[in-house]
Amino acid sequence: MRRTDGETILLWTLPVVAVVWLSAFLLFPGFVQPMSPTMSADEVAAFYRDPENLPRIRYSMILFNWFAVGLIPILALIVLQVRRMAHRTPIFSYSLLACAAGGPTIFLMADLFWLLAAFRPDRDPQLTLLFNDLAWVTFSTQVGFLIAQSVILALAIYLDRQPRPVFAPWVAHFNLVVAALLVPAAFAGTAMTGPLAWDGLLTFWVRNAAIGVWIAAMAVVLARAIGSQRVADEAGAA
Amino acid sequence: MNDKRELWIGWWTLVVFYNLYGLLFFVITRTQPPPQPSLEPAEIGSWFADRHYGLLYGYAVVSIVGGATAVMNATLAYSMRRMSVSRAFAYSYLVIYALATLPGMLIMGVVCTVGAMRPDRDPEIMSWLYDFAFLSFEGTMGVFLIGSLVWMAAVLLDENHVFPRWFGYLSLCNALTEVVVAPAWIFKSGAFAWDGAIAWWINMGVFVTYTTAFLTLLRRLIEREDFGTGPLPDLATDPGPGPSGAMKSAG
């Protein structure tokens, strides 16, 4: 019987936080029908003042505030798998650790701006518009750490040259595809309408779907890698 | 050198990134050298209007490549792992510089994008965005101050000769520029303002010297690297047919 190291517990936190994320996403009225950047200051202020919307904005963003960092333990488990790869230096695992804090921190900044906009909805509509813009631009354009995370992971997998690599090569290809799908969102500031706008097909739907699929796929791959690591450890110990 | 490809990936990421950073900040967004803090709200409006597309597209590219800093910091943290000092130095450096990305460029990118995307925004708010952008960028000192001091201490204490001692003193100069930039929070014009001779020009001069120095030294470190422990060997005059060192995994 192996000693409890807690990795399984960390892994199983993911489905729980994923349910919370999905609920918060559906609860926030600005996501289900993504808010358009073309809304005027008065329309944005009216959105936050609407008694139907206001509690949903606050509760959803409080949920995100609590659980946005819930992905970090999963990223830490991925770092541990990268440590098992046949590399000469810890550069890839260090790089992934450096990225792990970046994504959630940026999301928390956006979350703060949304909560601030909702805190005093009676403020001057120009200020509510400002907080709303800061939230959406931070949320939409700041894909750098997520892109880096996928590219670094792909490189780490490609350079993991051993008979039984930790992750299969398709995981690397998949990460590169995800990284490519995140790139257009960086341009959200350049368009008020169309696919690049922050409510557009590429910036909102494709990007968020790519992040969702990445989390789901990586969870499965990670669970398998941890599973086979345990089998190998037990065979080695026997 | 196949064994060193991870190190070379890190080194080339640093070189490409710093060149791109210069291009994006000085040429495309034209946010460096910084404008005067003393502009009136109306002038700030035209400052944003003048570089509308540069800000929007330039900072979009910054958002895409910003994560590359993770690889750069990891490579520099690795250089500290090769030193005789505790792992705490490498880990501190890694965390501090992961954090530094936000004030070092990402906040500026978000704020300039928000400013540029609505040219008709209330000028008073544009003026606040302008201050936010430049003070987050020029006036966030601690991460670079402590980060440089951690590196300095590691270099000066190291017995493996990973970096020469003079680089430790250069790190101290870089740290001190973060001290002299503090008056940028107080002065709106003159040598101490965020665009001033002391707060900006000396700072940038030292930073460019420091960056050029560590890129050169890091390159030599990679060439000398033997993946062993103890003192780093001198640069071999003839590398011979291949590395003779035993395969050791670092981690």
Domain boundaries, given as residue ranges, for chain B: 2-224
Contact assignment for A91 to B70 by CB distance below 8 Å = no
What six digits make up the tokens of B153? 């201490």
- Would the CB atoms of A91 and B106 count as touching at under 8 Å? no
What residue of B is the nearest CA neighbor of A186?
A: B60
Rounded (to 5) percent helix, strand, coil in chain A: 80, 0, 20
Could you report the per-residue pLDDT of A19-67, keeping only the tens digit for each? 999 999 999 999 999 999 999 999 999 999 999 999 999 999 999 999 9
B242 — pLDDT class (breaks 50, 70, 90): very low
Mean pLDDT score, B80-109: 94
Chain B neighbors of A138, CB-CB under 8 A? 110
Q: Please report the pLDDT score of residue B245 as a whole number.
A: 43
> Which one of B4, B71, B111, B130 makes the best mutation probe of the A interface by having the most chain A beta carbons within 10 Å?
B71
- Shortest Cα–Cα distance, A218 to chain B (Å): 19
| ipTM of this predicted structure | 0.93
Euclidean distance between CA atoms A18 and A60, whole angstroms: 14
In which residue ranges of chain A is pLDDT below 50? Answer: none
Read off the pTM. Answer: 0.93
| pLDDT on residue A237 | 77
Return the closest-CA partner of residue B250 out of A105, A92, A117, A121: A92
pLDDT at residue B93 in the model: 96
Of B7, B56, B66, the CB nearest to A144: B66
Nearest residue, CB atoms, A102 vs list B7, B67, B249: B67
Q: Which of residues 179-208 of A touch B (CB under 8 A)?
A: 183, 186-190, 192
A170-178: long-range contacts, CB 8 A cutoff, minimum separation 24: A171/A217, A171/A218, A171/A221, A174/A217, A175/A150, A175/A151, A175/A214, A176/A150, A176/A151, A178/A150, A178/A210, A178/A211, A178/A213, A178/A214
Quote the percentage of chain B above a pLDDT of 90.
83
